C-alpha cells in the first residue's frame, strides 16, 4: 500500500494544516492529479488504499486534514467562521494547482471528496471558486441525517453559541459492513466525534448551495452514492445528479452499501474503486 509524505500549509489566519502527498511509483506515467478532501471526524491518512487505486490510472494524489481534524491545527469540530472549510479548500486546491504547474503539469487536478468534504467540494465547484478537471463525490453530505429536534437545536445555537461543543452520534457500524474497518475506526486515535452548531450548519448550507446551483455546473461530475446510508440523505445526491445539465453528471448507486463506500467489505470496496477508475479513465 502506498505511503504518503506529509507537509505543512499555513492558512491566512495563521492556522497550520497538514497535507499528504502520495507520489506516483516511478514506473507509472503521470496522466494527471487529484486532490482528496475527507469527511467529518476522520483524516486524510485513511486514504492510502484510495491513493493506490488512483495511482493505477496514472494520477498523482494529494490530500489534507481539514482544520480541527486529524493532525491539523484547530479546536476539534469547531470553526472560526462559517465558510472556513470552503476557504481552506479553495486555498489548498490553488496551491496544488500551482505546485503542479511548477512541475510542468498544465492540466488542473481532479477533486475527490467524501461526505462533509463532498459538501465542501461541491459548493466551491458550483460557486466556480475552483474549476477542477473533474469532480468526484463519495456519499456527499448534501443533507446530514438529523432529527427535527436536532436540526432545530443546531439552527438555534448556530446563532447564540456557534462553537458549543457537541458530539455526533455516528457509530462505526453505520459506515461500513467490514468488521476490520469498524475496529480500525475504534482504534484510530486521530478520529473524533466532536462537532459544533457552526460546523453542522456550514455543511447544511454548503449542501443547499450546491443543490441550488447544480444546473449551472459544467465540470464533469461522478457521484458514488451509498443507497443504505444512515449518515447523510442519499436521495439528495440523486436530486443533485438530476439537476445537472445533460452530459455533465454520472450517478452510480450502491443500494446495499453503507456510508464509507471506499471502506466497505472487500468485494464491494473493489467494485466501487473499479468504477471510480473506469470513470477517471474516460476523462483522461
Per-residue pLDDT tens digits for 54-74: 999 999 999 999 999 999 999
Q: What is the mean pLDDT of residues 266-284?
A: 98
What phi and psi values does residue 12 have, to the nearest 5 degrees? Answer: -55, -25
Distances (CA, A) of 92 to 98, 144, 240, 252, 262: 10, 25, 25, 27, 23
pLDDT at 229: 98
Query: Residue 3: which pLDDT band, with cuts at 50, 70 and 90?
Result: confident
Radius of gyration of the chain (CA): 17
Q: What percentage of the chain carries pLDDT values higher than 70?
A: 100
Q: Can you say how many angstroms the Cα of residue 19 is from the centroid of all Cα atoms in its chain?
A: 14
Residue 222: strand pairing partners: 136, 250
Query: Residue 1: which pLDDT band, with cuts at 50, 70 and 90?
Result: confident
pTM over 0.85: yes
pLDDT at 73: 98
pLDDT at 26: 86
pLDDT at 214: 98
Which cell goes with 268?
464491494
Looking at per-residue pLDDT, the higher value among 125 and 3 belongs to 125
Report pLDDT digits (tens) over 106-117: 999 999 999 999
pLDDT at 2: 74
Q: What percentage of the chain carries pLDDT values higher than 90?
A: 97
Report pLDDT digits (tens) over 167-197: 998 999 999 999 999 999 999 999 999 999 9
* Residue 263: DSSP 8-state: G
User: Is the predicted pLDDT of residue 213 greater than 80, yes or no?
Assistant: yes
Report pLDDT digits (tens) over 68-102: 999 999 999 999 999 999 999 999 999 999 999 99
Mean pLDDT of the chain: 97
Q: What is the mean pLDDT of residues 115-140?
A: 98
pLDDT at 244: 98
CA 216 – CA 223 distance, rounded (Å): 17
CA 216 – CA 201 distance, rounded (Å): 24
**For residue 92, which of 134, 129, 48 has the smallest C-alpha distance?**
129
CA 169 – CA 172 distance, rounded (Å): 10
Amino acid at each position: 500500500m502506498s505511503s504518503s509524505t506529509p507537509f505543512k500549509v499555513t492558512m491566512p489566519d495563521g492556522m497550520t494544516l497538514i497535507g499528504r502527498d502520495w507520489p506516483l511509483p516511478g514506473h507509472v506515467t503521470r496522466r494527471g492529479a487529484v486532490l482528496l478532501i475527507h469527511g467529518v471526524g476522520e483524516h486524510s491518512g485513511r486514504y492510502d488504499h484510495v491513493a493506490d487505486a488512483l495511482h493505477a490510472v496514472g494520477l498523482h494524489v494529494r490530500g489534507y486534514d481539514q482544520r480541527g481534524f486529524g493532525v491539523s491545527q484547530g479546536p476539534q469540530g469547531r470553526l472560526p467562521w462559517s465558510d472556513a472549510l470552503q476557504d481552506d479548500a479553495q486555498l489548498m486546491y490553488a496551491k496544488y494547482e500551482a505546485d503542479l504547474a511548477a512541475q510542468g503539469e498544465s492540466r488542473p487536478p481532479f477533486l475527490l471528496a467524501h461526505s462533509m468534504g463532498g459538501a465542501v467540494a461541491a459548493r466551491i465547484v458550483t460557486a466556480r471558486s475552483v474549476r477542477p478537471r473533474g469532480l468526484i463525490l463519495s456519499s456527499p453530505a448534501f443533507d446530514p441525517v438529523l432529527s427535527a429536534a436536532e436540526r432545530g437545536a443546531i439552527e438555534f445555537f448556530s446563532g447564540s453559541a456557534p462553537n458549543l461543543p457537541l458530539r455526533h452520534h455516528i457509530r462505526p457500524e453505520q459506515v461500513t459492513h467490514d468488521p476490520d474497518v469498524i475496529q480500525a475506526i475504534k482504534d484510530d486515535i486521530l478520529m473524533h466525534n466532536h462537532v459544533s452548531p457552526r460546523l453542522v450548519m456550514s455543511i447544511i448550507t454548503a449542501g443547499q448551495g450546491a443543490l441550488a446551483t447544480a444546473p449551472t455546473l459544467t465540470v464533469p461530475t461522478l457521484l458514488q452514492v451509498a443507497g443504505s446510508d444512515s449518515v447523510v440523505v442519499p436521495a439528495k445526491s440523486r436530486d443533485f445528479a438530476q439537476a445537472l445539465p445533460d452530459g455533465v453528471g454520472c450517478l452510480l448507486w450502491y443500494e446495499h452499501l453503507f456510508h464509507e463506500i471506499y471502506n466497505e467489505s472487500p468485494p464491494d470496496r473493489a467494485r466501487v474503486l473499479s468504477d471510480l477508475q473506469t470513470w477517471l479513465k474516460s476523462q483522461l
